[in-house]
A and B are shown apart, each in its own frame.
Chain A
Amino acid sequence: MTAYIMRRLLQLIPVLIGMTIITFAIVHLIPGNPAQTILGETASQEAIADLEENMGLNEPYPVQYGFYITDLMQGDLGTSLRTKSEISSEIWPRLAATLELTFFAMVFAIFIGVNAGIISAWKQNSWFDFLAMMFALVGVSMPVFWLALMEQLVFAQELGWLPAFGRELSGDPIAPITHFYVLDSLIHLDFPRALTVLKHLILPSIALGTIPMAIIARMTRSSMLEVMQSDYIRTVRAKGSGQFLVIYKHALKNATIPVLTVIGLQTGVLLGGAILTETIFSWPGIGRYVFEAINYRDYPVIQSGILVIAFFFVIINLIVDILYTYIDPRIKY
């Protein structure tokens, strides 16, 4: 197993180098000059030329790529053209924000999705099955921004139960350690703050988790239905096991594999795809960071942002692959 994990980690290197070449090429192929974009319409030609030289954009592309990859090898992600800050120090807080949000969104999606799927399969063709699957269909097709705005309108503006934006209260920012605010509050033993942070997580997590939840529910249901018709379940039943035990102990285990695949893929998608939720809930995450960078043609930030997202995508898939072996001992690497 260890050898397998090592091999997978080594495979990461060519994947990431490939990613750098692709992102570098794409980023430099999109039309638009960062100096002009940063300075806007009121910029004089001299100012644009000065800034271009300053940012090292006059070098040929292969030279620029060479600089980039050399720095990267030394763990230096470069400096943002726009803010002049080190990207390595700018990127982690945003990534942590998105990871935290993704985690809670997936917790919500898995808990509701898996259980709704199980019950739907268990009580196939019942009113619950019908309602849950209709709800799942609506969930899959619901535009995230609409759901997010409706949540804000109802729970923040009208009822005033939950905050409408941000990760914590205004004016009293946390002293970050890991930049996972729930964890940080707990490390500080600041429980009121942990509660506040959790409250801020609820609406965006639901908005972000709704689509994966619906997909997971549908996948769990169909997978469970298939397993429930297999011979060994009939045998277990014949032995007189209770329905609950049959489902959660015997059936779920075999139904989990395809569900786990979906969960892994969806988690990866959320990492880069959280941008709509991040924008509406003012969540300072990586999606917004990269999006802004694209708007300003901030090449180093786009490259590093995509690279980091790709890295985590691969890592999540690796974790899923390892989980397979725990759930199903028949799978061996």
Chain B
Amino acid sequence: MKWKYSFLVTLMLAFLFMIAACSGDGGADTASTDGESEEENTEGDSGSDEEQVLVYARGGDSTSLDFASVSDGESSRVTKNIYDSLLDYERDSFDVVPGLAHDWEVSDDGLKYTFHLEEGVTFHDGTDFNAEAVKINFERWADPEHEYAFKDEGYAYPLYGTMFGGYKGDEDHIIKEINVVNDYEIEFVLKEPQGSFLQNMAMHYFAITSPAALEKYGPDIGENPVGTGPFQFVSWTKDDQIVLEKFEDYRKDGLPKLDKLIYEVIPENSARLIALRSGDVDIIDGVNPDDASGIKSEDGLKLYVRGENNVGYLGMNVEKEPLDDKLVRQAINHAVDNESIVEALYAGYATPAVNLIPPNYMGYNDEIEGYEYDPERAKELLAEAGKDDGLELDLWVMPVSRPYMPDPETVAEIVQNNLKEVGIKTNIVREEWAPYLEKTSQGEQELFLLGWSGSNGDPDYFFGSLLHGDNIGGENRSFYQNEKVDELIDQAATEIDQDKRAELYKEIQTLLHEDAPGVNLVHSTPLAAAKSAVKGFIPHPSTNDPMEEVYMEN
């Protein structure tokens, strides 16, 4: 009798499969039987009175929706639309504009900032936004022992430490005290002037969370975000989707225009483009440069180019022979053809770099002419340095793809060929990502590929981190130390007159151009795409795209 079991099992499985197959087909042919859930997705496209729904697809999920405790762009991309900070950036650049503070004053010595806050703003949980809320948030990040710091649950706020020189009690911590003047006025007193202070205050990492929510959710705040932003949190299915809905009491009248905003995770670039073409999603970030021309010529789709906010470079350890010789470094600069890298890797969607900072940054020196691609000149310089008898250098290649360098292997190949032409032999060195970062910090490398992404749109974040002598052993992986440059960087970091700062940064760039501690390769301009029906979308260079003005046209 046992044979019945096997037959029964086969039959049962067959039956299940048939249900699956039939229902699938049936559902597709007769959409009307699919009911409400099916309609939900498409409602946004039809009729202005109907619900406006937009699906934004990206490559990875958010780590946490407590933005300040993490530093990944996929987290802040979402929370940008749930939370507001005191100041904000212009929609397509890093120019500072009002946020929760409508006005602010700086004392003459640059030590005291007074912010005047918007009145009548409420958090999504209905509690009032006021100066006390701002103070609690900043104290939470500054003081690991704070009741909302959740240190024991593993929370830390690395960007606060980086931007404001450390934490409560640290010698270099720049914020001395925060005083609540009244409900809508708050004062930040600094230990010494910080040139990028306003720029920092506009960073999304310093947005304000509802203190009542911190009390209510405790360490679960990362999954229950409550802010004052245009959208409020509905649900988060990990690795899948985050659903936000319009916050009716948003402080700006008539905004946001969307009723529902959904962030979908689609890890594969080609699959994401297929989802856009099949109409399942409305905006995709992360488009392969090779797909750009196809999207451009396609009806119903639109290509978006993000502004520059990073630099990919070929670094040189200037402590190692023969890279300690300025002439050799200049020769390498002449030998590397960054235009061909832009063409080969980015299908033209990148800017060949001249200086370390992106051209849309304050203080960018556009009088400097880049090192021209000129192998002959490179050979002459090598001869002048007495190093034309066949140099051999290690070239470290990063193992991961980054926005500033999607394909490091190909870059390494091009650089290797370029250098071979002028008689420099290079040996490729590969390391895993974390050891790569550690070992280059310790100076084991000669030539190395790496890059830097901006976060507050301020030049100090580039020069101060990458080329200041104090950061040798840390982010200064070139081991470059120039007293004059260090002095200028320090001066610019504490200068609060932005015009004077710009002049200082221009001077720094002139010195760096001459010293050539690295080859600035590219500033990438990452691509996004959307249906043509999506209006009002402007990708931000930081990838934190504000969505309040976006809507779907019929």
Instruction: Give A contacts to B, CB under 8 Å.
Output: 30-34, 36-37, 39-47, 50-51, 54-55, 79, 81-85, 90, 93-94, 104, 107-108, 110-111, 114, 149, 152-153, 156-157, 160-167, 169-173, 190, 192-196, 198-199, 201-202, 205, 248-250, 252-253, 256, 279-282, 284-285, 288-289, 292, 297, 326-329
Given A107-B13, A169-B38, 20 other A-B residues pairs in contact with their CB atoms under 8 A: A32-B435, A39-B158, A41-B451, A82-B63, A94-B239, A111-B10, A149-B274, A156-B278, A157-B274, A169-B37, A170-B264, A171-B53, A171-B262, A173-B237, A202-B20, A250-B3, A282-B266, A284-B265, A326-B2, A326-B5
What A residues does B268 contact at CB under 8 A? 279-280, 282
What's the minimum C-beta distance from A82 to chain B, rounded to whole angstroms? 6
Chain B residues bordering chain A, tally (CB within 8 A): 89
What 0/1 readout, one digit per residue, does chain B (20-36) give for beta carbons within 8 Å of chain A? 11011111100001111
For the complex, give the distance between the alpha carbons of A281 and B155 in Å: 32
**Those 5 A-B pairs whose CB atoms lie nearest each other, nearest first:** A32-B434, A284-B239, A192-B35, A47-B158, A195-B27
Once the chains bind, are A284 and B240 in contact (CB under 8 Å)?
A: yes
Contact of B55 among A34, A161, A170, A284 (CB under 8 A): A170
State A273–B26 Cα separation when bound (angstroms).
31
How far, in whole Å, are A253 and B158 apart by their CA atoms in the complex? 63
Nearest-neighbour CB distance to chain A for B33, whole angstroms, equals: 7
CA distance A28 to B499 in the complex (A): 51
Alpha-carbon separation in the docked complex, A51 to B158 (Å): 8
CA distance in complex: A111, B433 (Å): 44
* Complex contacts, A33 vs chain B, CB 8 Å: 434, 438
Taking CB atoms, residues of chain A closer than 8 Å to B166 are: 46
Chain B neighbourhood of A110, CB < 8 A: 10, 13
Q: CB distance B28 to A161 under 8 Å? A: yes
A45, A55, A81, A94: the one within 8 Å of B473 (CB) = A45
Some 7 contacts from A to B, beta carbons below 8 A apart, are: A32-B433, A162-B24, A164-B271, A170-B41, A172-B37, A252-B6, A289-B239
Q: Measured between C-beta atoms, what is the minimum distance from B440 to chain A in Å? A: 9
Convert B54-86 into 0s and 1s, putting 1 for each residue whose CB lies closer than 8 angstroms to a CB of A.
Answer: 010000100110000111000000000000000
Chain B residues contacting A329 (CB-CB under 8 Å) are 2
Contacts of B364 in A (CB 8 A): none
Question: Closest B-chain residue to A326, C-beta based?
Answer: B5
Number of A-B contacts (CB under 8 A): 237
Residue B351 is within 8 A (CB to CB) of chain A in the complex: no
- Residues B222-263 near A (CB distance < 8 A): 222-223, 235, 237-241, 243, 260, 262
A248 to B8, CA, bound (A): 11
Taking chain A's interface residues, is the majority helix, strand, or loop, or is none over half, making it mixed?
helix
Q: How far is the CA of A190 from the CA of B38 in the complex (A)?
A: 12
A173 touches B271 (CB 8 A): no
Q: Is the CB of A198 within 8 A of B23?
A: yes
| Complexed CA–CA distance, A53 and B312 (Å) | 31
Q: How far is the CA of A154 from the CA of B428 in the complex (A)?
A: 41
Q: Are B243 and A173 in contact, CB atoms less than 8 angstroms apart?
A: yes
Structural contact, B241 and A173, CB atoms closer than 8 A? yes
A253's partner among B3, B28, B223 (CB-CB below 8 A) is: B3
Whether the pair A282, B63 counts as a contact (CB closer than 8 A) is no
B5 cross-chain contacts in A, Cβ below 8 A? 326-327
- CB <8 Å contact, B7 and A249: yes
Query: Does A170 contact B262, Cβ atoms closer than 8 Å?
Result: yes
Which chain A residues border B162 with CB–CB below 8 Å? 42-44, 47
Decide yes or no whether B514 CB sits under 8 A from chain A.
no
- In angstroms, Cα B278 to Cα A152, docked, is 9
Task: Give the chain B neighbours of A85 by CB distance below 8 A.
Answer: 222-223
Does B465 reach chain A (CB closer than 8 Å)? yes
Closest B residue to A248 by beta carbon equals B7
Please, how many angstroms separate the alpha-carbon atoms of A79 and B275 in the complex?
Answer: 33
The listed residue (B240, B262, B434) touching A297 by CB distance below 8 A is B434
Contact present for B154 and A45 (CB under 8 Å): no
| A46-B243 contact given A156-B278, A253-B3, A327-B6, CB 8 Å threshold | no
Task: Report the separation of the CA atoms of residues A156 and B69 in the bound assembly, to the nearest whole angstrom.
Answer: 38
How far, in Å, is B215 (CB) from chain A's closest CB?
Answer: 18
Asked if A45 and B2 sit within 8 Å, CB to CB, the answer is no
Contact B2 A196 (CB under 8 A): no
Question: Complex formed: what's the CA distance from A42 to B402 in Å?
Answer: 12
A51 with B277: CB separation less than 8 A: no
Given known pairs A46-B166, A94-B239, A195-B23, the reply for A170 and B281 (CB within 8 Å) is yes
Chain A residues with Cβ under 8 A from B13's Cβ?
A: 107, 110-111
Q: Would A83 and B6 count as touching, CB distance under 8 A? A: no
CA distance A327 to B5 in the complex (A): 7
- B453, A42: Cβ atoms under 8 Å? yes
Chain B: minimal CB distance from A220 (Å): 11
B335 to chain A, nearest CB (A): 25
Residue of A nearest to B51 (CB): A171
Docked-complex contact A108 and B40, CB < 8 angstroms: no
CB <8 Å contact, B17 and A54: no
- Knowing A45-B473, A169-B41, say if A284 contacts B238 (CB, 8 Å): yes
B154 surroundings in chain A (CB, below 8 A)? 54-55, 79, 81, 84
| B47 interface residue per 8 A CB criterion | no
B152 and chain A: residue at smallest CB distance: A54
Q: Report yes or no: B10 in contact with A114, Cβ–Cβ below 8 A.
A: yes
Asked whether B28 lies within 8 Å of A162 as measured between CB atoms, the reply is yes
Q: B35's closest neighbor in chain A, by CB? A: A192
Question: Do the beta carbons of B267 and A282 come within 8 Å of each other?
Answer: yes
Nearest chain A CB to B429 CB, angstrom units: 14
B238 contact from A93, A194, A280, Cβ within 8 A:
A93
Q: Are A170's CB and B241's CB within 8 A?
A: yes
**Residue numbers in B under 8 Å from A79 (CB-CB):** 153-154
- Check B24 against A192 for contact (C-beta < 8 Å): no
Shortest Cβ distance from A161 into B: residue: B28
Contact B26 A195 (CB under 8 A): yes
| Bound-complex Cα distance A152 to B266 (A) | 13
Report B18 CB to chain A, min CB distance, Å: 8
Cβ–Cβ < 8 Å partners of A107 in chain B:
13, 16-17, 20
CB atoms of B156 and A50 under 8 A apart: yes
B286, CB-defined interface residue at 8 Å: no
Residues of chain A within 8 A (CB-CB) of B129 are none
CB distance from B436 to the nearest CB of A (A): 9
Q: Which residue of B lies closest to A255 (CB)?
A: B6
Are the C-beta atoms of B34 and A160 separated by less than 8 Å? no
Of all chain A residues, the one with the shortest Cβ separation from B260 is A171
Q: Residue A163 contacts which of B71, B280, B453, B475 (CB distance < 8 angstroms)? A: B280
Residues of chain A lying within 8 A (CB to CB) of residue B357: none
Q: Cβ of B243 and Cβ of A171 under 8 Å apart? A: yes
Q: Is A152's CB under 8 angstroms from B222's CB?
A: no
Shortest A269–chain B CB gap in Å is 19
